[in-house]
Amino acid sequence: MKNLVIVESPTKAKTIAKFLGKDFKVESSFGHIRDLPKSKLGVDVDNNFKPQYVVPAKSKAVVNKLKKLAEKSNLIYFATDEDREGEAISWHLATLLKSPEEKIKRIVFHEITEEAIEEALKNPRGIDLNLVDAQQARRILDRLVGYQLSPFLWKKVARGLSAGRVQSVAVRLIVEREREIQAFKTVEYWSIDAKFKPTQGKPIEFEAKLNKINNKVIDKLEIKDEASAKKIVDDLKNARYLVSEIEKKETRKNPLPPFTTSTLQQTANQRLGFSAKQTMRLAQQLYEGVELGSGGAVGLITYMRTDSVNLADKFLGEVQPYIKNKFGASYTTGPKKYQAKSRLVQEAHEAIRPTSASNDLELVKQYLDVRQFKLYQLIWQRALASQMSPAIIDNTRIDIEATNTPYSFRATGSVIKFDGYLKVYPNNTQENILPALKEKEVVELIKLSPEQHFTQPPARYSEATLVKALEEYGIGRPSTYAPTIATIQERGYVEKEEKRLKPTDIAFLVNDLLVEHFPKIVDFKFTAHMEDDLDEIAEGKMKWQPVIHGFWGPFKQNLEKKDEELSKKELTEQKSDEVCEKCGKPMVIKVGRFGRFLACTGYPECKNTKPLNGENGEPPAPPEKTGEKCPECGSELVKRKGRYGEFVGCSNYPKCRYIKKEPVQEFGTCPQCGKGKIVGKRSRRGFFYACNQYPECKFALWGRPYLKEGKTEPEKCPKCNSVLVYGPKDTIKCSNKECKYKS
């Protein structure tokens, strides 16, 4: 009789099977094999919140197969992931298979390597029911909120909406940031830069900023307007410039700790442009196993859902000689241990790292696709860098006095004396070399440059900054960040605009409704406290039923009260000055699933509606006429704004649905396939540029390609030869995330 090993994914099963002999059979459960039913609440609230689990139709054949194999097996090893979800899958399997307890073994590992699997088989344990209870409590809480609040929103606002215990808090963060931006008042201010050069020695030019007036460091907003800046420039024109003080300081820049789930998602978003969901999908592939030629499948990274920064002693012992041999003895300082910020470190108990330092970039690159390799490279670099020497940087500060005036300037420079960990994990540390000067030395003014600025509102959240905010508030856990961000976009609460998360009209309405009428559901502290309770359940310090009971009673009571008190009309209608052009009755502003619109109060006799795209709830200006006639009905063609931007269509819409096809602007030949052309495209996530040979070629850019006047091909980066694109404020930058070139 063989031993049966059950994992949750076929890829993971294939990798593990390679390490085990003929005495083992490895099978996949294909994820969860039992769950709450989709068609009803599935929780018996009157029977101590007993969950009513069902086996979905898609899982029945898998369950039957596993039952037959289990009956014939000597031992059954559940090798699902070592977190709450993985533990729950093992528990559901054990419950369904109904095998004798002595046959069931639970094995765990943080990496899928032969050594790790062998070690796990030597040290089996039982199923951790505390972890199962924590997962079950989260699932039931989320079901109670989602399946009770969502129908309330359908009834009071619009069909298709949803609310969730964590997703609604994430939407609140995004809505509140948008309101900060809307309320922001721009303030003008000026800066004054100077360009100097030494009067002796090498004439190396350098820049300095005006930083003191009357020996007092100036505030950023001190110079308020052009007249003030001009007066300072006039005062400085005839001044003599002396070096008043020089300070040199050596600083040590320490490496960052290895990745957790949160920091991996943030860094992959910032450096590679990957969404949280995409990062986790790629990390899952690297964890479960990749075919490395004749060596077969091997897991390349450790488990990717973790908030621990620990590294295994085995890896620490392996990586130090690797660094010494590859980079030299000066790049090693001995094993480094990092301390987690969180009071309670969740999920798996090791940081995300390569399973072996010897699986270096040159070795694995040929076996990975482009995106897999980029993420593996990031993980490999960060893990190695965490165990390398600090970078040593020489910083220099030079203060320059404008004699006979109250003004002084400051120049700062830095030189990397020893690159240390920056050799494998470069960041934005840039050198700025200053000339060798002495105190009291005279320098020559080359140019004064006054520049106008305006204060900027806070930036919208990116996926990276939203993950960081959720983590800082204690909302969610490593396994929930990516699905939460994906869900709020899929449900239409958030759209991406230039890679930033922008709330839709419906997000404002639903958020305001929840804040006013269901404040605990979107309260940051309450949600974080609930996460702490789930942690306590996982550690066996609390029982799960009292936690659910404490939440359910007040929530249910408030829901019933609000259902009676609130009407759909008062929540979703707002008066307007518009009059229906079809029947003469007043029009009101309504909110539907896709945002705000104008609707006639004569409904259902009059079903006239109009889009509402104006600012502050005002109706939009009448469509602009183009002077052209519709080729299908002869009516005027007008410019309209749609979901994906401006277009030209028939004024007789909806009777005539003609839309004019605009000529497609091309931005040169696709550098990936060499056949297609780069063209602008729109999606629900915003405007982007891609090859017109899609889906055969999947080349895409988020920035507009930079073409010089009169040229038909985009300019290439002088450093890496990638396409140059426009960045913020019409700067030019490289489209390659790993290249920092800007001009």
Of 77, 303, 376, 407, the active-site residue reads: 303
Known catalytic membership, residue 303: yes
Strands (E), 75-139: 76-78, 104-106
Q: Mind giving me the DSSP string for 403-465? A: TTSSEEEEEEEEEEEE-GGGGTS--S---BPPP---TT-EEEEEEEEEEEEE--PPPPP-HHH
Q: Where are the beta strands (DSSP E) in 630-743?
A: 636-642, 645-650, 666-669, 677-683, 686-691, 700-701, 724-726, 732-734
- CA-based R_g, the chain, Å: 31
What is the distance between the alpha carbons of residues 186 and 458, in angstroms, rounded to a whole number? 11
Instruction: Judge residue 466's burial from the number of C-beta atoms within 10 Å of its C-beta, 0-12 exposed, 13-18 middle, 19 or more buried.
Output: buried
Nearest to 507 by CA among 476, 475, 461: 461
User: 399, 436, 491, 396: which is closest to 166 by C-alpha?
Assistant: 491
Residue 598 in tokens: 């104008």
Contacts of 730 (CB under 8 A, 6+ apart): none
Residues paired with residue 686 on neighbouring β-strands, in sequence order: 683
Among the residues of 522-677, which ranges form H helices?
524-538, 544-565, 568-572
Instruction: Please report, as a single letter, which amino acid is at residue 491.
Output: R
Between the alpha carbon of residue 566 and those of residues 513, 561, 572, the distances in Å are: 10, 9, 11
- Please, which residues bridge with residue 639 across strands? 624, 648
Give residues with Cβ within 8 angstroms of 561, minimum separation 6: none
CA gap 703, 161 in Å, rounded:
32
Catalytic residues: 303
